[in-house]
Amino acid sequence: MGAGSWIIVVVLISLLAMAAVAAFVGWTSAKDTDVPASGYVAMAIGVIFSLAVGVGLMALVFYSDRKGYDEPPMLIPPADTIEVSGVSDGPVKPQQTQELS
């Protein structure tokens, strides 16, 4: 690994350590605090809602991939147009012929 990769690893590990310290300090500073039942209900509803959104979005990702909705867009011209080098000239009009007398 190069120097840049090591810097990224060190930064990420230090961020993880800081998050762990913040969680520990927050957890231990609230020793004598009681959470009411409504707090637990609100937390449970939030967790269930977050999981439902995550599962729903992942289901849409898999559905979209399997149905081909993730393919790159392609221009499909209407049947009544002529395409010349990628530029459509519009509707095809019948050519008028003149009779020579």
52 pLDDT more than 80: yes
- Residue 48 CA to residue 35 CA, distance in Å, equals 19
DSSP letter for 30, please.
Answer: T
User: Is residue 7 predicted with pLDDT exceeding 90?
Assistant: yes
* pLDDT digits 0-9 by tens, 62-76: 999 888 877 777 788
Q: What is the pLDDT of residues 11-50, one digit of tens each?
A: 999 999 999 999 999 888 887 888 899 999 999 999 999 9
Instruction: Give the three-class secondary structure for 24.
Output: helix
pLDDT at 15: 98
Q: Taking a C-beta distance cutoff of 8 angstroms, is the pair 82, 88 a contact? A: yes
pLDDT exceeds cutoff 70 at 91: no
For the cut 80, the answer to whether the pLDDT of residue 97 exceeds it is no
Q: For residues 89 and 87, what is the distance between their CA atoms, to the nearest angstrom? A: 6
- Give 67 or 81, the one with higher predicted confidence: 67
